[in-house]
Amino acid sequence: MPIHSISNTSISSNGTHLNTVKSTNSTIDKDLVELAGKHAYLHPNRPDTIKVNGNNYKVLNVNKDSETGLDAFVIKNVNDKNNENLIIVYVGSEQIVEDWLLTNGKLPSDLAPEQIDQIHAAREYFKEVEEELGKVTHVTGNSLGGALSNAVAVDNPGVTSVTLNPALLPDGMVDPNKDYSNITNYISKYDALNLVINRLGLGHRVPGSKYNINNGLPIFSLLSPNHVGYHEDENGNFFYEVGKPGDAGYGHIYVDADEHIMTSIWTGAPLYGGPTGKIDINVEAMLKLAEAIQQKVKQRLTLSGEYIRNANLIVDDEISRFNIRVTILQETFQQMFDELAGEPMFNGIARTGNRIKSYLDGLISLLNIAEEKCRGLNVILNSMPMELIEYIRKVDISVESLFAYPKNYLYDIQIDIDNFVRAIQIIIEELIPDLFRGAKDNFVDAVTGELDLHYALLEKNKDRLLDQLENYGTQVQGVATALQNKDASIASATRGKGGDIQATDNVQHTAIITLEKSDYLEVGMKIKEIQTNLAHQAIRSSVTVVLTPILEQVSKVIRLLEGALEAIIVAINSAQHVVLYGNPTGLALSLFTKFDDNVKAQVKEVKAPIKEMEATIEGLRDGVNRLIANLPGMVDDFKPYIDTALFEPGKFANVRLYNVAASAILDEMNLVFDDIIYQLSGEKSQAVTESLEISKSIKGNIGILGEQVERGTI
């Protein structure tokens, strides 16, 4: 369709991004990446002006093709009055049918580009823009938009394509024998799309150079923001919020993709794929270096320091909650244990065991009652009428021998229960607090203790690095002044005004220092997992070695108790049978009914407390057996609570996120100082040479600090 008939209706842009980078007169990769990943999805309208890194881009045309789903817009850098060149921004996947089903689903295929509607439409739009609006020098896009941008650049070698996390192109569209030097793709560290592309061995279908950048965070909720390169919260803020206001360590992590593209301080060229072109180190170059050190480099390293500080605040907060964490873990263990048996009599067994002790006292009382009743039965049996004696020998139940065993068994169970309760109390009061102990210096609180000392050193090293950087910026400024003075001195001598050229290389010196080594967190953030496993093993061992044997002994004695009670019942029934039914004529039943009734009544009274005991003993037996069966599972279920008590998982994750963000910046500053060192190398000026040595020292210290921060990410 003609360019003038392209629809200009879209949602107006409602967000801008400003930072301290000075305006330039040329389109740079950082701008294009922000346009592709952020502003494309804000759907600017004509004639909006988009502010990007200090540059103003005017929207000249907006395309919304309802048939193919192609969304794109044309912009021009209005800061450069002499530049009439245009940029096309292709919008990434948003529409389910046109983008995902009809386009993305076809990209992995071997269809010709003409058979994929949006690729064809993107090419046609490029031609129409050039025919009716002017020359297009750059195209850009994210995801599907990146694939469309690259498709145009493949056909037009004179057009520069800069993409962020692009989708692949159809098979056969990319010539493996071409390097496509006009195409640059920035791949976010945590971009799921390109991880899949590479895993499938399809990386060759993303043409041009591919540079990895450190934006994003390794969390599932940022899966989409990691792909588009920008995270916008519900309030329109482009940062990731860590914690909630008022929380220790609350703050923001800035994940904007463009901020993580490292460029040369002098040329603005991306610092990937080897050194940039060598420049002349003159007054202007040193002034530019001084400005960059004092502003952008300092700003980024300061932000990295803020991330380190926030991580440290979270650690400090967990340290302050140590007693609370121990108490909660103890109470959790008690509650889980109390509920384990599933019998009311076991409630409180992990505290005092008073309830089950009360039940045992009740059993002993019932047994005493049964014993007394049995003695009464003996009295009746021994008072048989004389008429029966000639038929039946004298019957006497051995009360002492029959009741001694169950009574001793009950006393044994009482002792075992007392031992069991004491063992649980030792676990709760002594072992559980000891679960926190460990690590290299046997800290009382192993995880937070080691983190605390590591972060104390990180804070110290971070401050020393920032001080060194501050002094370095002043030194570079002095070098620029020295070079300027030398130029003025040479000019004065050349004009014949007399006098020697002044020695101007004496500028402020910056100390060469080496940051301190940390002996902590050598296993990284696995320290918590290791401590959790050790603590879990300690609990399991205590249960296996101490608690389970006691319960098994109780279970054994209960079985003996039940057998002893059954023996009492058998003895009573036997005595009754011999007295009442032991004569050959059955005369007793017919002649001595009163005696018969007395015996039966007394037997019933003896059995009653024993029958009452049976129900309680059954509950005791079932509860003990459930404890034995469920203890291993309870110990396993207790493990996550140990993990939480050692360091609350959400906060621990936030410590890791801050480290990831700080590590990314330090890694990027290594690239910047690689370029600084490269550019300053080979200069004869003593002042520049000294600056070179300090640059090397700072780079070395960035590496040391980076390695120490990296421990908090793994």
Say whether both 253 and 396 belong to one domain.
no
- Measured CA to CA, the distance from residue 598 to residue 588 in angstroms comes to 13
Q: How many domains does the chain have?
A: 2
Please list, residue by residue across 327-361, b when 16 or more beta carbons sit within 10 angstroms of its beta carbon and e when fewer do. eebbebbbebbeebbebebbebbbeebebbbebbe
Indicate the residue type of 428.
I
2 versus 243: which is more confidently predicted?
Answer: 243
- Measured CA to CA, the distance from residue 630 to residue 547 in angstroms comes to 12
Say whether both 223 and 363 belong to one domain.
no
Q: What is the pLDDT of residue 213?
A: 94
Indicate the residue type of 528.
K
Which range has the worst mean pLDDT, 386-395, 478-487, 701-710?
386-395
Query: Six-digit token pair at 516?
Result: 């301190």
**549: containing domain:** 326-441+542-647
Backbone CA torsion sign across 396, 397, 401, 403 = negative
- The β-bridge relationship of strands 160-166 and 136-143 is parallel
Q: What is the pLDDT of residue 23?
A: 35
Asked if the model's pLDDT at residue 590 lies above 50, the reply is no
Say whether both 233 and 376 belong to one domain.
no
Structural domain ending residue among the three candidates 261, 281, 296: 261
User: CA 357, 361, 365: angle at the middle one, nearest 5?
Assistant: 170
Say whether both 245 and 373 belong to one domain.
no
Asked if the model's pLDDT at residue 433 lies above 60, the reply is yes
- Measured CA to CA, the distance from residue 628 to residue 621 in angstroms comes to 11
Say whether both 74 and 187 belong to one domain.
yes
Tell me the mean pLDDT in the region 693-712. 95
Residue length, the chain?
714
User: CA 270, 149, 103: angle at the middle one, nearest 5?
Assistant: 135
Q: What is the pLDDT of residue 72?
A: 95
Burial class (CB in 10 A: 0-12, 13-18, 19+), 424: buried
- Measured CA to CA, the distance from residue 81 to residue 611 in angstroms comes to 104
- Residue 228 contacts residue 143 (beta carbons within 8 Å): yes
- The β-bridge relationship of strands 183-188 and 209-213 is parallel
Cis peptide preceding 47, ω within 30 of 0: yes
CATH number at residue 101: 3.40.50
Within a domain: residue 496?
A: no
Q: What is the pLDDT of residue 273?
A: 78
Burial class (CB in 10 A: 0-12, 13-18, 19+), 110: exposed
Within a domain: residue 513?
A: no
Listing from the earlier edge strand, what are the strands of the sheet with 86-90? 49-52, 55-64, 71-77, 86-90, 136-143, 160-166, 183-188, 209-213
- Measured CA to CA, the distance from residue 85 to residue 485 in angstroms comes to 41
Say whether both 112 and 25 belong to one domain.
yes
| β-pair partners for 75 | 59, 87
Write out pLDDT tens, residues 217-229.
998 888 888 999 9
Say whether both 121 and 233 belong to one domain.
yes
Q: What is the pLDDT of residue 89?
A: 97
Write out pLDDT tens, residues 351-397.
888 899 999 999 999 999 988 887 877 777 666 554 555 455 555 56
| β-pair partners for 74 | 61, 88
Portion of the chain with pLDDT greater than 70, in percent: 84
Asked if the model's pLDDT at residue 473 lies above 70, the reply is yes
Confidence of residue 480 (pLDDT cuts 50, 70, 90): confident
Say whether both 221 and 364 belong to one domain.
no
Tell me the mean pLDDT in the region 238-242. 90
Asked if the model's pLDDT at residue 457 lies above 90, the reply is yes
Tell me the chain's radius of gyration from C-alpha atoms. 42
Burial class (CB in 10 A: 0-12, 13-18, 19+), 156: middle
Confidence of residue 96 (pLDDT cuts 50, 70, 90): very low
Write out pLDDT tens, residues 495-507.
444 444 344 446 6
573: helix, coil or strand?
helix
Q: What is the pLDDT of residue 6?
A: 39
Within a domain: residue 504?
A: no
Work out the number of other CB atoms within 10 angstroms of the CB of residue 637: 12
Say whether both 236 and 340 belong to one domain.
no
The single residue listed with the structure tokens 């049918």 is 97
| β-pair partners for 64 | 71
- Residue 386 contacts residue 393 (beta carbons within 8 Å): no
- Residue 311 contacts residue 472 (beta carbons within 8 Å): no
Please list, residue by residue across 660-678, b when 16 or more beta carbons sit within 10 angstroms of its beta carbon and e when fewer do. bbbbbbbbbbbbbbebbbb
> Which own/partner contact pairs does 575-581 have at CB distance under 8 Å and 24+ positions apart?
575/377, 575/381, 575/395, 575/397, 576/600, 576/603, 578/392, 578/395, 579/381, 579/384, 579/388, 579/392, 579/395
- Measured CA to CA, the distance from residue 153 to residue 240 in angstroms comes to 34
Asked if the model's pLDDT at residue 166 lies above 80, the reply is yes
Tell me the mean pLDDT in the region 62-66. 86
- The β-bridge relationship of strands 183-188 and 136-143 is unpaired
Within a domain: residue 48?
A: yes
User: DSSP class of residue 10?
Assistant: -
Write out pLDDT tens, residues 277-321.
888 888 899 999 999 999 999 999 999 999 999 999 999 999 999
Burial class (CB in 10 A: 0-12, 13-18, 19+), 194: buried
Within a domain: residue 398?
A: yes
Q: What is the pLDDT of residue 496?
A: 46
Closest residue by Cα to residue 471 from 503, 504, 507: 507
Q: What is the pLDDT of residue 5?
A: 36
Residues 6+ apart with CB under 8 A from 197: 168, 203, 205, 206
Per-range mean pLDDT, top range of 15-29, 87-101, 579-593: 87-101
DSSP string, 357-397: HHHHHHHHHHHHHHHHHHHHHHHHHTT--HHHHTTS-----
Tell me the mean pLDDT in the region 217-244. 87
- Measured CA to CA, the distance from residue 470 to residue 474 in angstroms comes to 7
Say whether both 254 and 340 belong to one domain.
no
**pTM attached to this predicted model:** 0.83
Structural domain ending residue among the three candidates 210, 234, 261: 261
Within a domain: residue 404?
A: yes
Structural domain ending residue among the three candidates 216, 241, 261: 261
Query: Six-digit token pair at 581?
Result: 């039914």
Say whether both 153 and 9 belong to one domain.
yes
Query: Six-digit token pair at 271?
Result: 């610092």
Confidence of residue 586 (pLDDT cuts 50, 70, 90): very low
- Residue 680 contacts residue 658 (beta carbons within 8 Å): no
User: DSSP class of residue 100?
Assistant: I
Confidence of residue 585 (pLDDT cuts 50, 70, 90): very low
- Measured CA to CA, the distance from residue 457 to residue 516 in angstroms comes to 8
Closest residue by Cα to residue 670 from 707, 698, 697, 699: 699
Indicate the residue type of 666.
L
- Measured CA to CA, the distance from residue 311 to residue 248 in angstroms comes to 9
Helix (H) or strand (E) holding 39: none
Tell me the mean pLDDT in the region 97-118. 50
Within a domain: residue 688?
A: no
DSSP string, 174-236: S-TT---TTEEEEEETT-HHHHHHHHTT-GGGS-SEEEEE--S-S-GGGHHHHHHS----TTS
Asked if the model's pLDDT at residue 636 lies above 60, the reply is yes
Asked if the model's pLDDT at residue 592 lies above 60, the reply is no
Portion of the chain with pLDDT greater than 90, in percent: 56
Closest residue by Cα to residue 392 from 576, 210, 559: 576
- Measured CA to CA, the distance from residue 216 to residue 238 in angstroms comes to 12
Q: What is the pLDDT of residue 102?
A: 41
Say whether both 256 and 333 belong to one domain.
no
691: helix, coil or strand?
helix
Within a domain: residue 78?
A: yes
Alpha helices (H) in 229-267, listed in sequence order: none
- Mean pLDDT taken over the chain: 84
Closest residue by Cα to residue 458 from 284, 663, 636: 663
- Measured CA to CA, the distance from residue 547 to residue 425 in angstroms comes to 11
